[in-house]
Structure 1
Amino acid sequence: MTRRSVILMGGPDSGKTNFVGRLWVALDARTGAIHAAVQPDDIGFVLDTADHLFEGHFAPRTEHADRRDFEVTVVPAAGGDETKILIPDIRGELWRDAVVNSEISADWMEELKLADGALLFVRVNSELNVSPLDWVTSQRLLQLVGADQDRDKLPTQVMLIELIRFLELTLADRPDGGKPRLSVVVAAWDLVDAETRAAGPEAFIAKEYPMLGGRLRDTSRLDVQVFGLSVVGGDLTVDEDYRRAFLDAGLDGHGWVYAYDGANDRWKCEPDVTLPVAWVVGV
């Protein structure tokens, strides 16, 4: 059986944990591009996260555990070999600290070297997003290593750019000789207006995080695909009407991904929330 590792990366409050909970529900329901082949042995935190979603709440941010692993054996919906996927869910604060301190632990570095690819998260309207700055100011902040008063001032896009650099330096080429794959996931995509949604998450990144957008276009080491994500299809925290309708209908059938349809040159809403992971592992 092939073992593939998919790393989840992103800052605090970027949507990683809620995605893992919703991903398991989709894998277990066997409705997406990849299915769960067997019941995993230890998915307590994933089930806890899914329970929050079933009850109409987003899971709280990870506060205690530095790392929690979600390991599951999947099989393509169209048929094929089973693949064991390990998804380490690492606390966003630790990714941020790795950038600020310009170092990453040996354990994480080894996991990156073994990974087939990664999912990089940024969330729309997160209160913890730090507004973009100009290149000069951002570069100066990166040089202020270890200054506690500057840690929380690191612009979100600068942190994400540095995480991409980690990936470029550590991810190995795929077994077929192709580039390692990176899914950039814009979480809470349901919060954007209709015009922004139609333009797609790639245009959103280019507008809101121009340095990040340029870096994604400029990388020659990674094969990049951008997705918009809504884990439950709407806003459970503000839209009370939607929350009531969601609780009446249940989690099944809720949640979607905005993916680029190259054949028709447009962004398309897909009900399959497994797509960002399926694409990374080549399914």
Structure 2
Amino acid sequence: MLAAARKDLLLDRLRRDGRIVAKEMAAELGLSEDSIRRDLRELDEAGLAVRVYGGALPASPAVADYATRTTVATDSKRRIAAAAVALIPPGATVILDGGTTTLAMVDALPRTFRGTIVTHSPTVAAALLDHEAEVFLIGGRLFKHSAVSCGAAAVEAANRISADLFFLGVTGVHPTAGLTTGDADEAAMKRALASRAADSYVLASEEKIGAASRYGVLGLGEVTGIITDVGADAASARELAAAGAALVHTSG
């Protein structure tokens, strides 16, 4: 089998099974593990897979640049945003992560909401200018890929706040890899923010379910819930639930 055909087969298996074990794939194809690992390494370098110990996981399309992400799964993000806003009680202090789904939350949030919004995203803060809520913007080094503040200064500022709710954006929600994102500093910032809220909810639009990125954020059981519009009967939802995830399904 030619290398290109093997890679196509590996990508098909990633989409179907949600992971590849190099040893098992090598035995099935009658090839050496080194050949399969080389293919997986090249798929990883191309952004099509994420190598892990013993094999690979599907790469998340949500690691694309910010402008591209604004066009991905827009209907899914709107449904999840509406479900997330419904969880916010009057007068609450809420931390909003950066990202396109939290921007959709701002659109869904009533302009008369009189609570407090804390965010490290200048785009989210700017979108709240016409809202009555108090807005606190955490500063630091601007990570332009996701339009958020990261780094030591941002983490230090985050550690001085407390909130009722944190709405967390990730690029991957996987039953074995957990909650992941594509940058180490951004992952650290997300952990810091999660530690400052009584409850943390993950905003998981359809393209993130079953996918993974390079850096771990939290385990599935370390958040209050994962808001998704993937149906409860879907195989991916059942696998996440079996792995300990508390799924909050949208109504629409």
Instruction: Please give the range of the TM-score, normalised by the shorter of the 2 chains.
Output: 0.3 to 0.5
How high is the TM-score relative to the length of structure 2? 0.37
Larger-gyration structure (1/2): 2
